[in-house]
Copies of this chain bind each other. A is one copy, B any other.
Amino acid sequence: MSIAAQTMKKFVNAPEDVVKESLAGLAAAHADLVRVDFENQVVVRKDAPVAGKVGLISGGGSGHEPMHGGFVGRGMLDAACPGEIFTSPVPDQMLAATKAVDGGAGVLHIVKNYTGDVMNFKLAAELAEDDGIDVASVLTNDDVAVEDSLWTAGRRGVGVTVLLEKIAGARAEAGGTLQEVADVARKVNDRGRSLGVALTSCVTPAAGSPTFDIASDEMEFGVGIHGEPGRRREKIRPVSEIVAELTDTILTELAPANGANLLAFVNGLGGTPLIELYVVYNELTKQLADRGLTASRNLVGDYITSLEMAGVSITLVELDDELTALWDAPVHTAALRWGV
């Protein structure tokens, strides 16, 4: 296996061990926050289950780090279920996570809208209900690159997932009921939209070669976080033009109120340096100002990635007082931390 590993530009041993070894590293680095159940491959908040608190779990294929394992902790997720790279986890993981975080107030399943994830979470929810655990599910589907119609599996769940996990987690920490936590989660998804662009492809350890080919002067506009194709392939343009189109497309679908306050999230897909993410954020603030909109809150960094893909996604969520207060509430996870 190490032979295969050596032919790619990755720090790995055997490709099939990457997920488990990475989880071991996460557990060692953040033993104060999480514990990892290796048998079920689940990352669990250290003090779970928190009695009387609604439990939040999410999951999906690995390769999007820090999502979701890096979001487990106080004020965000109670557990995360990492699947193999880019492959949905199985219901057994989700069931184990659900049981591990059930503090008696029920458990919320946060599911990104991909056929595999949806089906596996659906089966897990049925199994949990059989065990008498109260489960609610919310679906994130914010990627405007995909039209939401009978002709597709629907918009994909991307950047909004991160913001929703933070905000719903704060609601649960504040004692919200399962219904209340699920409601605010759906509210974030309804008020949020995203769009991304890739300059290079990711490389999965199993494949060892790029997921898609792209010329040195091309970008994939509307790329998915698994390297799924976007709206179109085109020549790379100056960042001002790229951000202008991303912002336009997102706002057309989001249609926020005049002068709305937005949570502006500039997300790196893994291989784009921070210096460029701030250039993108600078362009975004100009675009918003031109439209009389304000980024009253922001997040800039790599939070929902696609391995080493060079690219960026922008997520905009229309805030109100409730969402702003929940966003500002303390959070303590490996990847997001403030107020504590």
A→B interface (CB under 8 Å): 2, 5-13, 18-19, 21-26, 28-29, 62-63, 65-66, 70, 199-200, 216-217, 235-240, 242, 270-283, 285, 295, 298, 300, 302, 305, 307-308, 310, 312, 337-340
Total copies of the chain: 2
Contacts of A217 in B (CB 8 A): 6-7
Is B25 within 8 A of A280, CB to CB?
yes
Q: A217-B6, A337-B338 are in contact. Are A21 and B282 (CB under 8 A)?
A: yes
Q: A11-B280, A12-B238 are in contact. Are A22 and B275 (CB under 8 A)?
A: yes
Whole-angstrom CA separation of A252 from B147 in the bound complex: 58
Is A272 within 8 A of B11, CB to CB?
yes
Whole-angstrom CA separation of A21 from B38 in the bound complex: 45
Is A308 within 8 A of B272, CB to CB?
yes
Is B275 within 8 A of A302, CB to CB?
no
Is B270 within 8 A of A237, CB to CB?
no
Is A275 within 8 A of B65, CB to CB?
yes
Contacts of A22 in B (CB 8 A): 275-276, 278-279, 282
Contacts of A281 in B (CB 8 A): 25, 28-29
Contacts of A337 in B (CB 8 A): 337-338
Contacts of A307 in B (CB 8 A): 273, 275
Whole-angstrom CA separation of A62 from B275 in the bound complex: 8
Is A70 within 8 A of B274, CB to CB?
yes
Q: A6-B237, A22-B275 are in contact. Are A282 and B28 (CB under 8 A)?
A: yes
Closest 9 CB pairs of A and B: A25-B278, A25-B282, A65-B274, A25-B281, A9-B199, A2-B238, A11-B239, A22-B278, A11-B276
Is A6 within 8 A of B199, CB to CB?
no
Whole-angstrom CA separation of A199 from B7 in the bound complex: 11
A200 to chain B, nearest CB (A): 6
Is B25 within 8 A of A236, CB to CB?
no
Whole-angstrom CA separation of A280 from B24 in the bound complex: 10
Contacts of A235 in B (CB 8 A): 6
